[in-house]
Each structure stands twice: as structure tokens, then as C-alpha cells.
Structure 1
Amino acid sequence: MKIARFEHKGKVVWGSVRDDVVTILTGELFEGATETKEKISLKDVKLLPPIVPPKIIGIGLNYKKHIEESPFGTPEVPMIFLKAPTSIIGPLDPIILPDSKKVDYEGELGIVIGKRAKDVKESEALSYVFGCTIVNDVSARDYHQQDKSFARSKGVDTFCPFGPYIVTGLSPDNLKIETRLNGKTVQSSYTNDLLFKVPQLISFVSKFMTLMPGDLMATGTPAGVGPMKKGDVIEVEVEGIGVLKNFVS
């Protein structure tokens, strides 16, 4: 199922998307929401971030070719960081640049957790996944150099566009991921190039912090990271999910 979140008749609701039609869902999303008979044209709704995550977990240096282009060595364990919940924006929302001298795009596959997970075995990890989505892990490089920390460089307001949908039942093993800047392809890879695969990430993170329904995990970015400037259009496409498009302002 392809799930969208949007405003309808003054309320924020979820719907399942097929072609250009959205069917309103009823019930709790993580407890088995079901389709109603009410349908809306997709072009008549403004898509919101698919969920409001309790926490956003990022993974650094997790594509092999991205590690090769970076000045850092290969991590021995997943490099975990957190992004501020206030950094979340949805599709077509503006990425607002701060006074940073270098703000980069980072197209990523996102994983949404579907149930409480603590000390999860790798062999069982995928059963805790609700679905897959798309994340742009926007990052201010000079902030990171100044702080020696990801907190400010990745936590700025509007620095976590994600969506447009959550897709359930989609295997994260070998999805094509592509980022386009003003229509030009700048990142292109497959998720089988991940150093630490999704089951490893879920198992590892769950040893240190309890994962809750709705938590969002950005699994890392491929090679080709680069800067954005005001007026740019940035698109991240992941096979089977769609295109996350945002404007830079």
C-alpha cells in the first residue's frame, strides 16, 4: 500500500494512493488502518510529511562509494546521529537556507518503524518495518566543521524533507535511488551498496535506543553529495516509492 498524509475538510488524514486517486483511511495507521469508500483526486490535496516521527535517526557513511569519496575511513559499526523533529518538511515545501556557506543534499532511503523494537535480532528486524519512504538529509558542512557534531549541521529547520509516501510491503534490499539537482542526475545507486543493510541497522540501533512506531530512519546517502543554492530544485527518487521534490529558498 502507498500511504499519503494530507489535509481534508479541515482535518489531517491518511489515504492510500493508487494512480491519481486517494482513498481515505480510517483507524490507527500502525494498528491496521482500513480504506473507506471516500475517494479524492490526488491533484486536489496538499501532501504533508507522511508521519510526524517521534524521532529521526540518521546513519552516516553507509554507502561504499560514498565512503570512498569522503575523507573518513570505513566505519566499524553504524554511525548514528539524530535529527531534530522540527527539521521535518513535506514534498514541495521549501528548504530554507541558513547563513551556512555550504548546504548539501543527501538523497536517502527512509525506513519507518511499525512497532516497538528493543534488542531486535537481525533475522527478525524486517518484521518491525512499517514501510519505506524517501528522505533528503540536508546538511550544512561548515556547521559540522565548526562544531565537530551533526546536531546543528543536520538539525536546522527544514533540513529533513521526506515523503511523499510510505510504501508498505516493499523490500529495501536492492532499490534504485537517484537524486537530481535542477533536472541533472547527481546521485545514482542501489540500496544493495549499503555497508550496513537495513536489518543490521535496526538491530544495532535497537540495542541502544528503543524504536517506536513512527520512528524514521534515514539509511545513508550514496556518492555524489553536493551543494544547493537558492532557486534550486532538488528531487530524490527511490524505486517503488516515487519522487520527493523540494525547492531551495
Structure 2
Amino acid sequence: MKCVRFEDLRTGNKRIGFIDGDVIRCVYGSLETYWQITDETFAMRDVRLLAPCVPKQIICVSFNYQKHAAEFGVEIPREPSIFSKAAHTVVGTGADIIWPKQVQELAFGAELGIVVKKRMKNVKAEDVPKYILGYTCANDVTARDLQRKERQWLRCKSFDTFCPLGPWLETELDPSDLSIRSYVNGVLKQDARTNNMIYNPYEILSYISQSFTLDAGDLILTGTPVGAGLLNEGDEITVEIEGIGKISNRVVME
């Protein structure tokens, strides 16, 4: 099922629901409890889709595709190499990516995003699926010049709007072999499959949970394939993942 966060254009209220044909059927409840599907519906034309989650933490994996590691002259990590993005980077499809004044080079990276369903700690890889709420398209936007300049990646990854997500969460999906692509102004830039990952999604979440607790709503980005490149002002960047859908965002100077 496709789970969405959306804004009611008439009232400005933010809600959660599932797409049911040409309408959104609202639900009540928290991520850690059973959602109750209601009879309240909204027509798609009356809403604006928001980012499908509001994570407390965003944990990312670098160089998780062999060709991408080779592209940057990096050895294949012997275990998942993780870093974080600030939570306020999240925006939905259609929102602008704001190019900060202090950034010279802005890069994109298509990624499969995973949203955690319930608190997980020390979870074995084979048990990870029951801790996953759903999957979404993600764009790991990076200030590439700052990434080269600084020893740590938090700032270069964490400017506002640097994590577009959406258009929804697909709650029923096998992530093991999905097409993942990115386009800039309609031109194909990245084209890979998730079975090319060095560490698969279940291994990644298990590894992270061995180190620290993941809570309901937290977001995991699983790495970008070869071809992640630079953007220009006015560019439209689209991320498309098989079985989920696609998101598009335009680059606007601050």
C-alpha cells in the first residue's frame, strides 16, 4: 500500500492516509501501533503531498555500490560506512532544493530510503523486515565542495532541503532487485539496480541497530549508484525507483 503524508489545501491540516484508487483514505494511530483506516477520504486534487516521514534521525550509507566507490577511487568498505544528515533536510516532491550561498558545487544522488516501523536494537538481518514501515525515493543532496574541504560530512549533507523524499511510502515491497534511476532535466544520469548494493537493506539496518537504537519514523538511506553528479541553478532532478514511483525537485538559488 502507498502511505502518504499530505496537507489539506482547504484547511492547511496535515494528515496521514493510504491511496485508495483516486482518493486518499485517512488513518489514525502512531507508527508503533496498528493504524486504523477510516471512512474519511480526500480527493488527490484537494491535497499537497508532503515528505512521507518526519524522522528524528537520518542515517546514510556511503559507497554502497561498487562502481560508485570506483568512481571516487575509494576501496570497497569492509562493513557499511555510515554518516548522518540533519532531520530538517527533509522536503517532499515538488519542493525546491535551495542552493545555499556558501556552496559552490551542488550534487545529487538517487537512493532507496527506508523508514523504520518500530524501535529496533540488536536486530538480526533476517528479522529486519518486520521492523520496516516502508520504502521511498530519496535524493541525497550534497555540497560537494564542502565535502572535499571538510573531514566530516555532516555540514555538507545537512543544509535545509538537502533530502527530498517521496512521493509516498510503499509498505509492501521486496527491495532486493529494484531499478533505481535519476534524471536531470529529463536526461538519464544514474541507472542501476538495488541488487548491485554491496550491503543489502536488511544487512544495513541490522548493522546500524548493533551500534545504536533506531526509533519509529527514522530514515535510512542506502547509498547512491554510479553517476551522481553536479547540478546547476534551475535544474530539475528526478529520482525514480521501481515499485515506488518518482519525485522531482527544482534547484533554486538562496
Moved more, 122-131 or 230-239: 122-131
For residues 133-157 of structure 1, the C-alpha deviation after alignment (integer angstroms, 9 at most, x for no partner) is 1110001111011112111110111
> What is the match of residue 58 of structure 2?
56
> What is the match of residue 67 of structure 1?
69
Q: 1:41 aligns with which of 31, 40, 43?
A: 43
Aligned counterparts of 1:207 and 1:16: Cα–Cα separation in 2: 32
> What is the match of residue 14 of structure 2?
12
Moved more, 167-176 or 11-20: 11-20
Q: Which amino acid aligns with 1:4?
A: V
SS of the residue 2:78 aligns to: coil
Q: Which amino acid aligns with 2:27?
A: L
> What is the match of residue 122 of structure 1?
125
Q: Is the contact between residue 4 and residue 167 of structure 2 (CA under 8 Å) also seen in structure 1?
A: yes
SS of the residue 1:174 aligns to: coil
Q: CA deviation at 1:40?
A: 1.7
For residues 21-72 of structure 1, the C-alpha deviation after alignment (integer angstroms, 9 at most, x for no partner) is 2111122244121321122221221111111101000100001221121121
Aligned counterparts of 1:43 and 1:193: Cα–Cα separation in 2: 38
> What is the match of residue 22 of structure 1?
24
> What is the match of residue 228 of structure 2?
225
The answer for unaligned runs of 5 or more in structure 1 is none
> What is the match of residue 190 of structure 2?
187
Q: Is the contact between residue 136 and residue 169 of structure 2 (CA under 8 Å) also seen in structure 1?
A: yes
1:148-159 correspondence to structure 2 within 5 Å: 148-159=151-162
Q: Is the contact between residue 31 and residue 118 of structure 2 (CA under 8 Å) also seen in structure 1?
A: no
Q: Which amino acid aligns with 1:134?
A: C
Aligned counterparts of 1:81 and 1:138: Cα–Cα separation in 2: 14
Aligned counterparts of 1:146 and 1:7: Cα–Cα separation in 2: 39
Moved more, 207-216 or 32-41: 32-41
Aligned counterparts of 1:19 and 1:235: Cα–Cα separation in 2: 24
Q: Does 1:103 align with 2:124?
A: no
Q: CA deviation at 1:18?
A: 3.3
SS of the residue 1:222 aligns to: coil
Q: TM-score, normalised by structure 1?
A: 0.97
SS of the residue 1:196 aligns to: coil
Aligned counterparts of 1:83 and 1:208: Cα–Cα separation in 2: 17
Q: CA deviation at 1:19?
A: 4.0
Q: Which amino acid aligns with 1:54?
A: K
Q: Is the contact between residue 31 and residue 216 of structure 2 (CA under 8 Å) also seen in structure 1?
A: no
Q: Which amino acid aligns with 2:41?
A: K
Aligned counterparts of 2:152 and 2:240: Cα–Cα separation in 1: 28
> What is the match of residue 140 of structure 1?
143
Q: Which amino acid aligns with 2:105?
A: K
Aligned residue pair count: 249
Aligned counterparts of 2:109 and 2:45: Cα–Cα separation in 1: 27
Aligned counterparts of 1:115 and 1:243: Cα–Cα separation in 2: 26
Q: CA deviation at 1:100?
A: 1.5
Aligned counterparts of 2:96 and 2:232: Cα–Cα separation in 1: 12
For residues 86-122 of structure 1, the C-alpha deviation after alignment (integer angstroms, 9 at most, x for no partner) is 1111111100001322111000000011111111111
SS of the residue 1:96 aligns to: strand
The answer for unaligned runs of 5 or more in structure 2 is none
Q: Is the contact between residue 109 and residue 220 of structure 1 (CA under 8 Å) also seen in structure 2?
A: yes
RMSD: 1.1
SS of the residue 2:211 aligns to: coil
Q: 2:173 aligns with which of 170, 174, 197?
A: 170
Identity, % of aligned positions: 40
Moved more, 100-109 or 36-45: 36-45
For residues 134-181 of structure 1, the C-alpha deviation after alignment (integer angstroms, 9 at most, x for no partner) is 110001111011112111110111101111101102111111111010
Q: Does 1:31 align with 2:17?
A: no
